Amino acid sequence: MNKNLLKTQNKNKSFYFIANWKMQLTLNEESNFVDLNLQNFKKLSSKKNIQIILCPSFLNIRSLSKLFKSTNIKIGAQNCSSHIKGAYTGQISAQSLSDTYCQYCIIGHSECRKEYKESNNEIFKKFESLISQNISPIICIGENLEENKSGRTLDILEKQLVEIFKYLLKRNENKVNKVKILIAYEPIWAIGTGITPTINSLNKTFAWLKQQTKNIPFINWKLLYGGSVNSKNVFDLKQINNLSGFLIGGSSLDFQEFEKVVIL
Ligand code: PGA
């Protein structure tokens, strides 16, 4: 298909662009980055078929929620506690996030699974508390290189999602709060490495994910890709079938680069 035709097709699709700033900037640096690009962010977010979600550090969530309140930009957190309340020093509950008007929350990021030894069961509990607070979970899943090479990708993804799917299947339509649920497929070997899977293999993975989510049709599912998304590969990545958007780390820290990722 010719590139101009694909470009028009890309423009007609609607995509989520979720900026995961991780702990790359200090609180002041994040605020300066936003101040410097405030009008640019607002302009970018007003484009058709685009939803931008910024995930700053916990400490900036409340102020950015206020700053972008009457705009099309939404604010998300990068993690939350699996507990509702109690003696959990240093943790932040889903309810506290809701108090800061945060509308999305990343859970199960591979960096958290590794660094804090988060289990699938713990991630499921985070999922449950977010749903109870009407916060949309962005569930990160993905295999490591060895699992990928040995053809076990879908088995790993299934293990990471099974508890969440079981829970949703047991609840009926009316009992699940009407929040969107986002699944971000992020192969661990693609995060921050500059390497991405082939479009062919991504099409297969997303076809499988789509099939799984079809079993729970009353949920508004969004399927995202994450891992080394940049202005050079995003045009091709936008061709993945069944894709609703991207979770973006490094490329979200430079406004010009982020803008290209959104508009290309
Ligand atoms: P990256 O990070 O875009 O820098 O690869 C993505 C992520 O970790 O969510």
Query: Residue 207: its pLDDT value, please?
Result: 98
Query: Residue 2: its pLDDT value, please?
Result: 66
Q: Is the CB of 250 under 6 A from ligand 1?
A: yes
Mutual angle of helices 58-67 and 27-45, in 10-degree steps? 40
Mean pLDDT taken over the chain: 95
Band the pLDDT of 180: cuts 50, 70, 90.
very high
Nearest CA, atom 1, ligand 1: 249
Band the pLDDT of 171: cuts 50, 70, 90.
confident
CB 199 within 8 A of CB 153: no
Q: Is the CB of 187 under 6 A from ligand 1?
A: no
Q: Which amino acid would we find at residue 203?
A: N
Residue 246 confidence (pLDDT) above 90 = yes
Q: Report the sign of the C-alpha dihedral through residues 139, 179, 94, 23, in that order.
A: positive
Mean pLDDT within 210-223: 95
For residue 110, give every residue at least 6 positions away whose Cβ sits within 8 Å of its Cβ, in sequence order, or none: 140, 142, 186, 188, 191
- Active-site entry in 109, 111, 118, 143: 109
Query: Residue 54: its pLDDT value, please?
Result: 98
CB 75 within 8 A of CB 101: yes
Mean pLDDT within 187-208: 98
Q: What does the pLDDT look like over 23-38, one tens digit per residue?
A: 999 999 999 999 999 9
Q: Is the CB of 141 under 6 A from ligand 1?
A: no
